[in-house]
Amino acid sequence: MGGAGEYVTHGGLKLARTGGWHMRAATLMGAGTTTWILWRFSQDGDVFLGLRKPWEHRTWGPTAHHHGDGHGHGHGEGKGGHH
């Protein structure tokens, strides 16, 4: 096991005391993870809640794909089609 250091006992479990940077790093990673989870839920929450199947295309919102929206990509338009 590790070398000598400060330990704390919680309910009979002996744990090494963490340094300040460990706590800040853990808080930063936790905040980043929480932000990512909330962002993914904003994108796919309707699938998670069972309101939409994952293979159904979204027909509303900023990521909706509407055929004929003038974006110039897709199904054989122009020479050479879509690359």
d(CA 34, CA 28): 10
Query: What pLDDT digit, counting tens, does each position of 9-66 carry?
Result: 989 999 888 888 998 999 999 999 999 999 999 988 888 898 888 888 766 666 666 5
Would you give the distance in Å from CA 81 to the centre of its chain?
Answer: 34
- Name the pTM for this structure: 0.50
